Amino acid sequence: MGYKSRSHAIDAITLTSSPPPPPTTTTMTSDTSPQPIQSARAAVDSLATVLGGAFPDTLASADDPAAVLLHDTGVARAVVGRLRGAGSGVGNDGLCRWLYDAFQSNLPELQLAVLRFVPALAAVYMSRAVSRKPLAGFEAVLLALYAHAAAQRGAGEPETVTLPNLANPSVYHDAKVPPKTKAAELDVAVLSPALEPHGTMRATRRARIVGAVLELYHGKLALMPLSSKMDFCEFCVAWAGNRSKLDDKPRVAPASKTEGGATAAAADEKWRRVPLPWELFQPALRIVAHCLLGPTNSDELKAQAAHAAECLYWRAAETMDARALLATRSLVRLSQMTEEPIPEPSFSGGVENMAELEAMRANILSTKN
């Protein structure tokens, strides 16, 4: 024991505890980005500056810049590649500043374009935050998104679900009990607890903040491009961190296929398993469920989502978290069921009718003669 080991302990402790440089929002806006982004065109221009050579030139003159930012695969690959690259997310990261400014522009279409990168942002942030790297850039963007989600929800309001009781009638059914009797008691469940304001990213609230950002992303899922969802499912697999446990199944969609060149650069970085408390697990699971069972034509996405659901199931099994097990088990089972097809038109007993038709035909022929 003695002094030496004690001071060593202190070192470790202070290392662990030193909070990241406060990602005060003012530094993000005032530093080198003189004017705030006010139009989609300006956003494209400033992104071109940030990305430099990586920015596809064909887009500079696109007709609908916001749509390009949201849907163009070239832009997405460049941005995601940069986000996943080494050294991203620090306080003076130009890309983070761009994301922050674009979101703060309050133009809905630009906000969508920022939300499109939530999967990559959250994934890179969560796995690096565990290793205590300075990530003020990521944190500023995530906190801005969180603040937006909190404002949208209203202060201190949890998102609740009032469970139906079939004893009460509804638009879709009649109840046996006449409605004059007192309405049956309803259970109220909290789907997402109230969002308290957070000015800084505190470690113990990290999962909640990222979880709320995922909820925000979830609300706009229908508008998100496929590749963004593919990213998310891929990261979920990494977050669950138990790939080795699955019986050496070939990965459903190899990362290199979906990400193109971007992953080649980032492949070296090992994606860490991250703590998945329910506040993060639940929104992640909702997004995976959308990818798996929502309206999509992409079998690739469904396969990737099914894989993610399975990984999350085994992650839940590690601690036998009953609630998470129930939800993920259902998803895994649903992924194995085939969807009931829309009924084809039936030509009412076309075959059965044939004899009758023949009879009529004969009948008609005889009248003709």
Interactions with other proteins, residue window 277-306 (CB under 8 A): 277, 282, 285-286, 289-290, 292-295, 297
* The only residue of 59, 90, 134, 218 in contact with other proteins, by rule CB under 8 A: 218
Place of tokens 């990602």: 23
Q: How far, in Å, CA of 276 to CA of 69, rounded?
A: 31
Nearer to other proteins, 54 or 286 (CB): 286
Nearer to other proteins, 34 or 347 (CB): 347
Q: How far, in Å, CA of 248 to CA of 244, rounded?
A: 7
Sequence-distant (6+) residues with CB within 8 A of 51 are 78, 79, 82, 95
Say how many residues touch other proteins, by CB under 8 A: 108
Please, which of residues 243-262 interact with other proteins by CB under 8 A? 244-247
SS3 of residue 192 by DSSP: strand
Q: How far, in Å, CA of 259 to CA of 230, rounded?
A: 9
Sequence-distant (6+) residues with CB within 8 A of 162 are 186, 187, 188, 189
* The only residue of 21, 39, 92, 161 in contact with other proteins, by rule CB under 8 A: 161
Please, which of residues 191-210 interact with other proteins by CB under 8 A? 191, 193-194, 196, 198, 202-207
Nearer to other proteins, 90 or 246 (CB): 246
Determine how many CB atoms are found less than 10 A away from the CB of residue 332: 16
Please, which of residues 329-358 interact with other proteins by CB under 8 A? 329-331, 333-334, 337, 340, 342-350, 352-353, 356-357
- Is 155 a binding residue for other proteins by CB under 8 A? The answer is no
CB 272 within 8 A of CB 127: yes
* The only residue of 4, 180, 249, 270 in contact with other proteins, by rule CB under 8 A: 180
* The only residue of 35, 320, 351, 369 in contact with other proteins, by rule CB under 8 A: 320
Whole-angstrom CA distances from 24 to 107, 136, 192 are 23, 8, 26
* The only residue of 26, 53, 86, 172 in contact with other proteins, by rule CB under 8 A: 172
Rounded to the nearest angstrom, the gap between the alpha carbon of residue 241 and the centroid of all alpha carbons in its chain is 18
Please, which of residues 122-141 interact with other proteins by CB under 8 A? 129-132
Minimum distance, C-beta of residue 172 to other proteins, in the bound complex (Å): 6
Please, which of residues 32-61 interact with other proteins by CB under 8 A? none
Nearer to other proteins, 49 or 353 (CB): 353
φ, ψ at 261 (rounded to 5°): -65, -25
* The only residue of 21, 179, 254, 261 in contact with other proteins, by rule CB under 8 A: 179
Sequence-distant (6+) residues with CB within 8 A of 45 are 60
Question: What x/- string results for residues 66 through 95 when contact with other proteins is judged by CB under 8 A?
Answer: ------------------------------
Q: How far, in Å, CA of 206 to CA of 180, rounded?
A: 48
Minimum distance, C-beta of residue 46 to other proteins, in the bound complex (Å): 29
**Closest by Cα among 8, 138, 156 to 84:** 138
